[in-house]
Structure 1
């Protein structure tokens, strides 16, 4: 933990539903004082004049794939956490489908060990459920592991949990938060078979949302929600992509009381089926980017609090892999560096307030996962913060992309807002397209 003193002056502080002008003093890695006016008491205090720019809590991204161990030609915890802090993401929760898959306590802890040495951002790792590892699931300590990830839809290897009896047993047995990828495998296989018969491997990418269809999503997510209601399990549904699924979720109770929560990802808010023509397999994700009407309904549900958090599902592949024909081109793309700038673009368009962005990307992930001491700009909390200039346009180019894979679906896009400073545990890790090469990430802990 850093012992550096930092004083941020003249900031527009966005926190807990309001924006106030003030100063923030950071010492020993925590927010020490927040007030209208604070004077530096030591000549060694680093002063950052925010000049009226906006200070947000560090973003907590509850769903990333950083590919380590085993898939490090695509990405590593070091490279992607470095990109994350450039995007204002100061904490991430990474998924278990690495090689080997994190389906035992020992393999899970191996990932924590890597992150402890290489991560620029704070970190936690989901434990992976399979058809036959319930005994290991029950060993997981909910205090220091974000939750349990189940692939209830199409996946690779034995990460697909498709035995209904096993799924119900897991839901009934664990108090862990259960995060799920919901797509019905049988529906996807039937649709794929149909189009392979017609096109071979080179299926037009525009048919991706027909193969990974609304029905495939709804069948799986509705079963998961019904099972959670039956068993009392704590369920979090990742990356909603359809309007139809929204009927499964409530918005009439506070987030703290919800047992069933939902997430939407940046790409499902930004892109639609109309973009396949230009972007091709670069926007091939699972679940698929669907109709513009789905995108618009997801945004409305986000504002209405049916959807609780915004995440990235950051899942990089090499450009060579993405350029394969449809059946061989992997799904997923890199997003952590550009997620917050994309949401700020929606702010400029009048679609969402800064306060709501902070609620969905900072406060709510902390509430939903019960993250200790993060997600807010509060005295005594860990000093994770991001300073943004809302009037400093920049264009995404290969030269300013930090992902190991070297590409972005946003290449060529111009964002009006720029991240000027990112602090992780009180250390200034990033400043105006340059990293200070400080790996100050800590393991997240949870109030459970």
Structure 2
């Protein structure tokens, strides 16, 4: 039997912080108490020394690039980076190559993860204009949800047929997650900038090309369709102040049919940072203005936004160093997401309890993930020890992403992840990921 005792922790769970111990047997939490006695001969003992103990974060939107794009990242490399960053479960998106738009390809991704993943995993089934029959075969018990791109994406994954879109929304009881940007608006904006700059469009125009209007138009349409059909809608990576008008904090999360996510980069950067970061912060949807960032923070704190995620999407530096039009959108974030939010805690923007709510509890609730996202007896022991007073700097040599770079490179965080447990096994400590692939397939209470 695997027995682990974590002592003297500041345990963060469901809006409270209390000092105590946590006992793990095999992969489950079996006891939580002010003091638990055990001999070192009976179990492995870790002294948290008054540091925070939080549930492992659940990242509901990542792109780990396998299969087909493994020169950028793969399930092994990126799940290692995730556990080093305190993320113990991830939900990966379908725009790999081939796209996960058939049950066969979807299941192949699960088989890859079963062999390679250091973190718990699930994969979204992708929707297209012509695969409704495949979408409806998706098992709600062991697949996170259905992903729809309402803005351009890899291969055949842009769903732009409104009749098909309504059929998907009407037909599936599963959670539908959407990327909302209006393709026509973006194309029209891009044509204007090409007419002005030719091939030398500056990256500072990115948020004007993939504009507030493009985001709002698409998000508002998706919400209207969800209300019309009764679909369970989750909108990924919101980026504008205007879109916050579309969401409510008047309904408890458990009763919401429409939920919202914001990503680390939209809370951290603004368009002012394009001058120094360039294509390294080129994401879709684009990083927008300081006012957009301010209102996103307000919506996160007042309950209109429910989840913080990463949209982790690595590309090589060579790809990012190309001109604006050629450089792909996306960047690596899973290793630095939790500590970035703790940096915001140090700045007085958010409490530790709220970080845990938005990165651990709420993803578990929204996706109805079985026995994860909380520190509770009977739950899986996905646990992270966080030292909020142990500074470290992001350098090439401690970046674990396969792409080898980070938009936070050179930044010194005040907070360090010291230990990560996945299903009761210590998989990360002291900047080292142990050779333990402890990840399991996420299951859902549906």
Shorter-chain TM-score category?
over 0.9
- Which residue does the alignment assign to 2:302? 304
Deviation at 1:201, TM superposition (A): 2.1
Partner of 1:266: 264
Counterpart of 2:313 in structure 1 is 315
Q: Which residue of 2 aligns with 1:74?
A: 72
For residue 176 of structure 1, what is the aligned residue in structure 2? Answer: 174
Residue pair 1:89, 1:121 contacting (<8 A) in 2 also: yes
- Whole-Å separation in 2 of the counterparts to 1:155 and 1:79: 23
Name 1:36's counterpart in structure 2.
34
- Per-residue deviation, 1:41: 5.0
Question: In structure 1, the residue corresponding to 2:128 is in which secondary structure?
Answer: coil
User: Residue 120 of structure 1: CA displacement?
Assistant: 0.2
Q: Tell me which residue corresponds to 2:274.
A: 276
* Cross-structure match for 2:6: 8
Question: When the two structures are superposed, what TM-score results if normalisation uses the length of structure 2?
Answer: 0.99
1:330 aligns with 328
Q: How does 1:420-439 map to 2 (within 5 A)?
A: 420-439=418-437
Query: Which residue of 2 is the match for residue 387 of structure 1?
Result: 385
Q: Cα distance, 1:406 vs. partner?
A: 0.1
Of 134, 140, 157 in structure 2, the residue corresponding to residue 136 of structure 1 is 134
| Partner in structure 1 of residue 211 of structure 2 | 213
Structure 1: any 5+ residue segments left out of the alignment?
Answer: none
What is the rounded CA distance, in whole Å, between the counterparts of 1:130 and 1:432 in structure 2? Answer: 43
Match of 2:344 among 346, 349, 353: 346
* Secondary structure at 2:220 match in 1: helix
State the superposition RMSD in angstroms.
0.7
How far off is 1:437 after superposition?
Answer: 1.3
Distance 1:156 1:98 in 2: 8
Q: Distance in 2 between matches of 1:118 and 1:323?
A: 30
2:167 is the counterpart of 1:198: no
Aligned to 1:126: 124
1:151 aligns with 2:146: no
**Are residue 443 (structure 1) and residue 436 (structure 2) matched?**
no
Q: What secondary structure does 1:438 align onto?
A: coil
Query: Could you tell me how far 1:193 is from its partner in structure 2?
Result: 1.1
How far apart, in 1, do the equivalents of 2:406 and 2:19 lie?
A: 35
Aligned pair count?
A: 446
Q: Which runs of 4+ in 1 moved over 6 A?
A: none
Look up the match of 1:400. Answer: 398
Tell me the alpha carbon deviations over residues 350-398 of structure 1, each in whole angstroms, 9 at most, x when there is no partner. Answer: 1100000000000000000000000000000000010010100000000
Q: 2: CA distance between counterparts of 1:247 and 1:26?
A: 44
CA distance in 1, matches of 2:103, 2:24: 36
Q: What is the alpha-carbon distance in structure 2 between the residues aligned to residue 32 and residue 193 of structure 1?
A: 60
Rounded Cα–Cα distance in structure 1 between residues aligned with 2:255 and 2:341: 27
Pick aligned residue for 1:51 from 49, 52, 56: 49
* Matched-pair contact (CA < 8 Å) for 1:121–1:442: yes
Out of 95, 100, 103, the residue aligned to residue 102 of structure 1 is: 100
What SS does the aligned partner of 1:341 have?
helix
In structure 2, C-alpha distance between the alignment counterparts of 1:182 and 1:13, rounded to whole Å: 37
